[in-house]
Amino acid sequence: MKVLKFLVCFAALWASTLARNRSPLLDEDKGLTRNKAAECIFGKEIRELGSQWIPDLGVPIGVLYCMKCECVPFHRKRRIVARVQCRNIKNECPEPTCDDPVLLPERCCKTCPGDNKNEPDVIQDIVPQNVIEEEERRINHFGALLTGRSSLDLRNDSDSKDLNKNNVVATGRFTFHKRNLHYSFYISEKAARPRSLHFLDNQGNILEEFTLSHAGGLVNSLYQNATRKVCGIWRRLPRDYRKLLRNEKMYVVLIWGTKESEFTLSGRLSKYVSLASEQFSSLLEPAPGTDSAKMAGSGGMAIVSTLSSPSPSIHVAVIFNGLFTSHENFDVPINIILGLDEKKQILLEENIKVRKPASDLNYIELSSPISLADLRSLSRGRVVLTVSSLSEPNNLRLSGNVITKITCEIFQTTLIGDKDLAGVTTGLAWMYLNNQGALIYNIQIDNALNEPHIKSITVTLSDIAGKKKAEVLTPRFDSGWANGTEDRMVHKVLEPLYNNRLDMRVGVGNGTLHGHLNAKLVADARDAPAPLLLKRENYTLSTSVLGLAWVSVDNDCHIHYDVSLSGLGHERKMEVYLEMYPIIAPGAPVLLKHLEDFEGNSVEGSPLEALTKEELDMLDSGVTFMKIKDFNSKIVLLSATITKLTLPITCRPLYNNNVPLIYDVPGGRPTEDCFFEGKFYKKDSTWVSKNPCQMCFCQDGQTTCDRMTCPDLKCPRNNVTIPGECCPVCSDPEIVKSNKKCLFNGMIYSSGSKFHPFLIPLGFDDCTVCTCDPVDLEIKCRRIETNSAKCGKGSATETPETLRDDDDIPMGGWPMIRKEDVSNSAMILKEGGCKNNNNPDKPYKNGTSYHPHIASLGEYKCVTCKCQNGTQKCSRERCEWKNCKMIFDFRKGRSKANKRSQFLYSDYCCSLKECRKIRHKKKIEERSSHKQ
């Protein structure tokens, strides 16, 4: 009950924090549900299952020392998920041993002077987050054989067996490093890609689940499609799960079909020493011609490693089940054959005894010298592994091709030029082996199009330091790219490739680019179609500064990135961020997205929050750069344009009429800037468009332009139009030669020219004519008094007013004219519009509200009219105290605002008499409230 009550208070506390300060706590349910992982999200931090902490709510609440939060597991059917539970621990405080205990800062319980100050409060079991145990720092390998005969007692297990008529089997490889578990699966060619993957504990509870494919078994990943592998990563395993893994009590299940007719394969994650040096693998399936009933649900896998020097040798570990008859239960011999596919030629054969046959997993291994020719056959994927029962070899037999290792891996490098190419070009390369054992490679040479002499390249792969040439690739070179497939992979390449000893040299013209190929596991960012070349942004940096980055967006709209840098040393602190523009244009608003601060030469990650709609919009339709900045100097070091980023359909922003919205920094509000003729203009600015007779202004993200007509000049001789100006000037040679100009409202006028002023938001005011005075270069404007609607042609004048560029332009009194509306005035009236007595060419539209126009005052703001079906209904604004106050202030000479222009009572919708009444009433009210 107490806990419950507290939680209610806590929730209220959260809410109040949110209102004031946008506490991170309530963001929890918006976009942070990535993969529904069994972990807790508290604020912007991920807490692993089982962790405990004292909540820090940030400013203004701070740390709540009397509260303990915990990320606790709970079952949702068979799935274990996590939730945060917090409770007050104040009443768990030990009884103080003295009469006047004190509460020390950062403590919950009061203590006595003699108490041990270091002794913590009630919470003793808080484990620091992000402490990676020594064992987890090392890379640990696990393997799994997935068959219908795993020891895991699954629900519907018998049904599953029935559905697995084709005896599908699968094998998995798992690499655990820094709390993350990378997984790779290879599945019988008979089966499509599974629908999902579950990690289970030994009781069959689902610890984590992953969706592997959508309808039809399709996968977007180029790599996974080309290799037929299933690749991914389980990030941040909780401590308890890491323990399960270490103790080999974790299982995986691959699931096919629909909820109604599900078919699964399962297996246990086990440690096998040979996985650390694995180069080849094999998936063993019931061999053709065997007894399918006896072999139901059985299968095997092999882990193969080789050594070419000092003398060639091979090591094979086989994990299998299903080769034993019911009465074979002790020291049962099993026959292993490595043979050549087409020729039935045997490379290696041995009988090995299994001490105690098990129904789920049995392990046998063999080591043997092997010829170099046989190693070559192995590299070319022509070797078949067969494992069979000695008592019933025809019925009980498993076989499979030996293929390159199952782990989802790519090999990548940046390419740096030697002295001839330094500063001229750089590049990058990545490669992988497909399921046929062919090497698929992509090499990008930067700047090749600007260096026309680079017409072809040569590629050499060699063992470290170029001592041993392993392979010469012969790629076709096109537009800076050399993409190819090398079918005849040789062992000389595979061995150094897997042992992290392979260099690539690319001959370009006179020079060479070189790099060292590094193995990387494929998941998230590295599952993108291609990496980006991060190029030096600052040319004072060494030419060896270069980077390679992978970027992807997953189905939950989270961005993933993986950056490897060279030439910057290991100690520099840097920041990686995205710079997004709606389009590249002068003045374009930029949106910055900070990804991470890091040290060293690589960084990989994914922000906790999904990308916002605005960010996705920029990624999809704008221009985005990935940049690396020096943390201290803030100098941009490297930059790449993000291209070919495939945004999942579910993350594509919705456009209105296909016009992408333009967003501002930093909160992602729609920008109030305007984009016009290839440039961005700030809110409320005016500018001359490319046509000097057109002026535009920007309001609420909308550009409005108006065309100017030129006032009559009445020149004694001719008139001339000066380039860049709209209206002609009289061709008085003196004036034209003087080249004197007036500047008004951002527009340039030659001395003596006449024009209509441009006013926001009305456009050109044809009822006023301004002149750039040839003598003092001031703009002098005069109103054209007119009773008719058409200004401009009249002759009567008012007192001239002088305006300068920095003057406020008095707006009241100038009639509104919008030329574009004139032509369709008849149409407006026909559609229920109302007559405009002031300007018959501009009737009011049906349904619009406006202030009427009163001859001497202009727009009369104290009356609002509405046009409805041809009749107008008007109402007067009420006179209010705030308006009266301005009137009184003005009368007392206090108001500065109205000093320049004429003060009009009518602008304030009050008469002096009304205001005096209001003031009187106010005073009475104040007096009575004082008395109370």
Ligand X SMILES: *[C@@H]1O[C@H](CO)[C@@H](O)[C@H](O)[C@H]1NC(C)=O
- Burial code (b: 16+ CB inside 10 Å, e: under 16) for 35-52 equals bebbbbbbbeebbbbbbb
Q: Between 459 and 674, name the residue whose CB sits nearer to ligand X.
A: 459
Are the beta carbons of 597 and 548 closer than 8 angstroms? no
Mapping DSSP to helix (H, G, I), strand (E, B) and coil, where does residue 209 land? strand
The DSSP secondary-structure symbol of 214 reads: B
* CB 193, min distance to ligand X, A: 11
- Number of Cβ within 10 Å of residue 764's Cβ equals 22
Query: Which of 497, 710 has the CB closer to ligand X?
Result: 710
Q: In this structure, are strands 280-286 and 397-404 parallel, antiparallel, or unpaired? A: antiparallel
Distance CA 838, CA 826 (A): 16
CA dist list (Å): 65 to 46, 105, 122, 758 = 20, 9, 10, 63
In the complex with ligand X, the residue whose CB is nearer, 485 or 786, is 485
Alpha carbon 75 to its chain's center: 32
* Sequence-ordered list of residues with C-beta below 8 angstroms from that of 857, at least 6 positions apart, any chain: 812, 813, 904, 906
Contact 706, 726 (CB under 8 A): no
CA 372 to each of CA 307, 309, 376, 377, 690: distance values in angstroms, whole numbers, following the listed order:
10, 10, 6, 9, 75
Give 268's contacts (C-beta < 8 A, 6+ positions apart): 144, 150, 151, 152, 248, 249, 250, 251, 360, 361
- Based on CB atoms, which residue is closest to ligand X, 678 or 724? 724
Q: Considering the complex, what minimum distance in angstroms separates the CB of residue 530 from ligand X?
A: 4
DSSP-assigned states of every residue in 628-654 = EEETTT--EEEEEE--SPPPPGGGPPP
CA distance 149 to 268: 11
Minimum gap (Å) between residue 246 Cβ and ligand X: 37
Taking the C-alpha atoms of residue 249 and residue 700, their distance in angstroms, rounded to an integer, is 61
Q: Taking CB positions, which residue lies at the least distance from ligand X?
A: 832
| DSSP conformational letter for 784 | B
- Nearer of residues 7 and 636 to ligand X, judged by Cβ: 636
CB of 435 to ligand X, least distance (A): 8
Closer of 419 and 570 to ligand X (Cβ): 419
Q: Which lies closer to ligand X via its Cβ, residue 530 or residue 777? A: 530
Taking the least distance from each CB to ligand X, the nearer of 210 and 481 is 481
Distance separating alpha carbons of residues 760 and 850, to the nearest angstrom: 17
356 DSSP 8-state letter: S
CA distance 322 to 312: 32
Least distance from ligand X to the Cβ atom of residue 798, Å: 22
CB of 226 to ligand X, least distance (A): 6
Residue 840 preceded by cis peptide, ω within 30: no
Cα(364)–Cα(303) distance, integer angstroms: 11
User: In the chain, what is the straight-line distance between the N-terminal and C-terminal CA atoms, in Å?
Assistant: 46
Nearest to 368 by CA among 387, 352, 389, 391: 352
Q: 531 or 858: whose CB is closer to ligand X?
A: 531
Q: In angstroms, give the least distance from the CB of 539 to ligand X.
A: 8
Residue type, 903: F
Rounded least distance, CB 574 to ligand X, Å: 14
Contact criterion met (CB below 8 Å) for 494 and 403: no
Closest contact distance (angstroms) between CB of 825 and ligand X is: 15
Residue number with CB closer to ligand X (576 or 909): 576
Residue 735, C-beta contacts closer than 8 angstroms, at least 6 positions apart? 729, 750, 751, 752, 774
Using alpha carbons, select from 849, 905, 850 the residue that is nearest to residue 879: 905
Rank residues 481 and 881 by Cβ distance to ligand X and give the closer one: 481
Phi, psi of 431 (to 5 degrees): -150, 160
Closest separation between CB of residue 727 and ligand X, Å? 7
CB of 481 vs ligand X, minimal distance in Å: 4
Which lies closer to ligand X via its Cβ, residue 538 or residue 802?
538
Minimum Å gap between C-beta 848 and ligand X is: 10
Identify which of residues 76 and 714 has a Cβ nearer to ligand X in the complex: 714
Cβ-based nearer residue to ligand X, 393 or 511: 511
Cis omega (within 30 of 0) for bond into 666: yes
Q: How far is the CB of 691 from ligand X (least distance, A)?
A: 17
User: Which residues contact ligand X (rule: CB under 6 A)?
Assistant: 222, 225-226, 442, 453, 478-479, 481, 483, 509-510, 529-530, 538, 540, 635-636, 710, 712-713, 718-719, 728, 831-832, 846-847, 869
Which residue's CB is nearer to ligand X, number 584 or number 897? 584
Quote the least distance from Cβ 375 to ligand X, whole Å.
Answer: 27
Q: Which residues pair with 186 in a beta bridge?
A: 171, 229
The distance of closest approach from Cβ of residue 479 to ligand X in the complex, given in angstroms and rounded to an integer, is 6
